[in-house]
Amino acid sequence: MRLLIVLLPVFLLGCVEPMVSDFNGSSVKVVEDFGGKKPTTATVQEAQRICGKVGKTSEYASTRTLPNYQTEYLFLCL
């Protein structure tokens, strides 16, 4: 039982998907729970998918740490 309690957060980290928080045609912001300094492959793919909707490609621009253990990544749509 203790092992399950210890490993549950590890399993849940693998289930978290990036979420688009803002898109204006020129840039997209993607949020990850417990993100790091660089975006994950899933985050980069999500930004590429969103920018692709307007015929553009995404380029990573910056990272911002949010107070609720989330990380926001800004991508420019070029």
Q: Where do the structural domains in the chain lie, given as residue ranges?
A: 30-78
Q: pLDDT higher for 9 or 58?
A: 58
Q: Which amino acid is at 65?
A: T
The Cα 60–Cα 41 span in angstroms is 12
Average pLDDT over residues 23-46: 94
Q: Is the pLDDT of residue 43 over 80?
A: yes
pLDDT at 36: 87
Tokens of 32: 């990850």
Average pLDDT over residues 55-76: 95
Straight-line distance from the first to the last Cα atom of the chain, in angstroms, rounded to the nearest whole number:
50
pLDDT at 4: 46
Assign 7 a pLDDT band (cuts: 50, 70, 90).
Answer: very low
Query: In DSSP terms, which residues pair with 23 in a beta bridge?
Result: 28
